[in-house]
Chains A and B, each alone.
Chain A
Amino acid sequence: MRTGWNQCNTGLMEIILAILVGVLYTAGVYMLLRRSILKFIIGIIFMSNATNLLVFLAAGIKPGSPAFVDEGATAAGLADPLPQALVLTAIVIGLGIIVFILALKYKFFEATGTDDLDQLKSTEE
């Protein structure tokens, strides 16, 4: 009974998460293509969250089972702790990068007084 409920739950959760990843990627790409740098940063945040969820989802989700167990437990009842560690690392790295680009955006605004990515074309000439 309990395992059956869990399986059903897993399937539903995977579908919901997959849709969420898709929505986040779409929103991220849409924001990336806007002209404003701030919106670009928001797009990057969306996409980085989508990627984190994708890593988490692709590695398989397993409800109701612990990641750390006593000695002698079999692998079947275990959840894989590694994807969580990977995602955690990725979140921390993502945070650092977002903070850096926000600071850079501020400096850029100070120097040029614009938030418009189209103004950047001028260096290409």
Chain B
Amino acid sequence: MAALALPVIFPLFMMILLIIFRSRTFARWAGIAGSLALVSISVYLFVRLDRQPVLVLQAGGWEAPFGISLVMDRLSGLMLLVTSILLLAISIYSVSFLGKERYGRVFHIFFFSLSMGVNGAFITGDVFNLYVWFEVMLLSSFVLIALGCSREQLKGSIKYIALNLLGSLLFLAGIGLLYGKTGTLNMAHLAEILRGDNQAHLVSSSAVFFFIAFGIKAALFPFYFWLPASYHTPNITVTSLFAGLLTKVGVYALIRFFTLFFVQDQEFWHNLLLMVAGLTMVLGGMAATSFYETRRILSYHIISQIGYMVMGLGIYTPLGIAGAIYFTMHNMIAKTNTFLVAGVISRMKGSFDLKQVGGLYKQHPFLAFLFIVPAFALAGVPPLSGFFAKFILIKAGIDASRFGIAAVALFTGMLTLYSMIKIWNEAFLKKPPEKGEMVHAPLRPGIFELVPSVILGLVSLLMGILAAPVFEYTMEAARGLLDPSLYIETVLYGGKP
């Protein structure tokens, strides 16, 4: 299945092209064309997944536990698909938001290297390889967050880098201990060794390292401080890119590790995950209510919603995991979309501060509509995607008698609704403030600013309207995660029992 390498190889190829051809116009169009190609690659792989639920590529022809395996199951397929749609939207958006900046070309180079890292993390079947993809992703994000080198940005990026580097070091330490105990780093092989081994609790020390490392990447409760300290500083295109992808890779890794091979000592881990999830949700949601800057409100919301995804993992029933996957997909789309619209608002009004904007509903009703779709999707209003995502999670919580976390999730939903209504009221309904004279004449957002939001809004809407088939698919993915015998067999023995 050589095509499995494409989501990683293709961005690399685009990077090389962008380094050779130094024109900014070329970079812009190459960004869009490359993202389109990535969408078609992931759609192709996604369709292939129908015939064969686990696709495997043994890199370099080395047999499974010895070489690096690239593995794609339904979870990876969904993640790749959503990622490529996000990348497409952001590449279109960057045309107008980065087009005139002198670092536009650099953005596109690291845009592709980031997508290479993210795609690689989603399809790798090897723990050390995952570490390498995390580093690829991390270094690209370091460059992207510091692009432009303004004072604020440099301050933000130092905080961002500090905690994320610590996370990588812990990840590597965990890998070392895990290898020392099991002698393998292939995920399927690890699963074969650790599942059903009665001494598997001995790897709990490595599991703690991984939990903290991914917790830092995913911005979970005690480790989230880097996110709100840095996400409001870079160009809004970069923030949207990060908001949609980075933390979700952490969540993906948590789901993968804690369903595939860290399945020992379940009671302890699931209670811990649920507790952390609840605190993440509530604290993120409450912090968001206290701000009047759209990017800060939305940044705290990223944290709050990571809680929901981890909650699904902590419930650990097929329904719970399916909810987590559904929620992750919905959140990647809707969250990025709110950031994109926030960027357009600041473009039109010259500020991200809600106190200085207003009256946008009259000025541009279509933009108001574009905002209300992701905002209500995040808040969980039917028939948009967020309603079903939250419904599945809360139902899974009640079914599994985890009433506490279900109540917390419902409560946080209200906090989210409150924040979204605050942005809506302040930016769209309120009369524009009188003394806050506009810095420049109001711009009419052009096609490059609106099309990305239209694409993502449509996806949110479709995920809500077609909730049944999407849910069925995530349910299949969740069953595959909870019973990974097919995954293990396909990776280790090429599908032959």
Chain A contacts to B: CB under 8 angstroms: 32, 37, 40, 44, 47-48, 51-52, 54-60, 80, 82-83, 86, 89-90, 93, 96-97, 100-101, 104-105, 107-108, 111-112, 117, 120, 122-124
Contacts and interface: CB of A to CB of B under 8 A. Distances in A.
Contacts of A48: 169
Contacts of A83: 176, 179
B155 interface: yes
B137 to A, nearest CB: 12
B175 A55 contact: yes
B158 A104 contact: yes
A51 B172 contact: yes
B367 interface: no
Ranked 4 nearest A-B pairs via Cβ: A55-B176, A58-B180, A58-B176, A108-B154
A97 B179 contact: no
Contacts of B183: 80
B229 A123 contact: yes
A44 B163 CA distance: 11
Contacts of B158: 37, 104-105, 108, 117, 120
Interface stretch (B1-9, B144-152, B300-308): B144-152
Chain B contact patch, size range: 20 to 34
A115 to B, nearest CB: 11
A56 B172 CA distance: 11
A112 B161 contact: no
B3 to A, nearest CB: 26
B139 interface: yes
Interface in B131-159: 131-132, 135, 139, 142-143, 146, 149-152, 154-159
B162 interface: yes
A44 B165 contact: yes
Contacts of B398: none
Interface in B145-199: 146, 149-152, 154-159, 161-162, 165-166, 169, 172-173, 175-177, 179-181, 183
Contacts of B376: none
Given A55-B179, A89-B132, A124-B229, 20 more contacts: A44-B165, A51-B172, A51-B173, A55-B172, A55-B176, A57-B180, A59-B180, A86-B128, A93-B135, A96-B139, A97-B135, A100-B139, A100-B143, A101-B161, A104-B146, A104-B154, A107-B149, A108-B154, A112-B151, A123-B229
Contact of A55 (B143, B149, B150, B173): B173
Given A58-B179, A93-B135, A51 B169 contact: yes
Chain B residues touching A, majority SS: helix
A89 B136 CA distance: 12
A15 B52 CA distance: 50
Contact of B179 (A82, A100, A117, A122): A82
Nearest to B228: A124
Nearest to B233: A123
30 contacts: A32-B166, A40-B162, A44-B165, A44-B169, A51-B172, A52-B172, A54-B173, A54-B176, A55-B172, A55-B179, A58-B176, A58-B180, A59-B180, A60-B180, A82-B179, A83-B176, A90-B131, A93-B132, A93-B135, A96-B139, A97-B135, A100-B142, A104-B142, A104-B146, A104-B157, A108-B154, A108-B158, A112-B154, A122-B155, A124-B229
Given A48-B169, A97-B139, A59 B156 contact: no
Given A48-B169, A97-B139, A107 B176 contact: no
Contacts of A101: 161, 165
Chain A residues touching B, majority SS: helix
Contacts of A111: 149-151, 154
A73 B485 CA distance: 33
A124 to B, nearest CB: 7
Given A89-B132, A93-B135, A123 B155 contact: yes
Contacts of B155: 108, 112, 120, 122-123
B176 A51 contact: yes
Contacts of B139: 96-97, 100
Interface string B293-311: 0000000000000000000
Residue picked from A52, A58, A89, A96, most chain B C-beta under 10 Å = A58
Contacts of B172: 51-52, 55, 90
A5 B128 CA distance: 34
Contacts of A112: 151, 154-155
Contact of B156 (A54, A57, A93, A123): A123
B161 to A, nearest CB: 6
A123 B180 contact: no
A60 to B, nearest CB: 7
Contact of B159 (A52, A82, A105, A120): A120
Nearest to A85: B128
Nearest to B206: A58
Given A51-B173, A55-B172, A86 B179 contact: yes
Contacts of A40: 162
Contacts of A52: 172
B154 A107 contact: yes
A94 B422 CA distance: 44
Nearest to A86: B128
A117 B229 CA distance: 14
B106 to A, nearest CB: 14
Residue picked from B139, B146, B154, B159, most chain A C-beta under 10 Å = B154
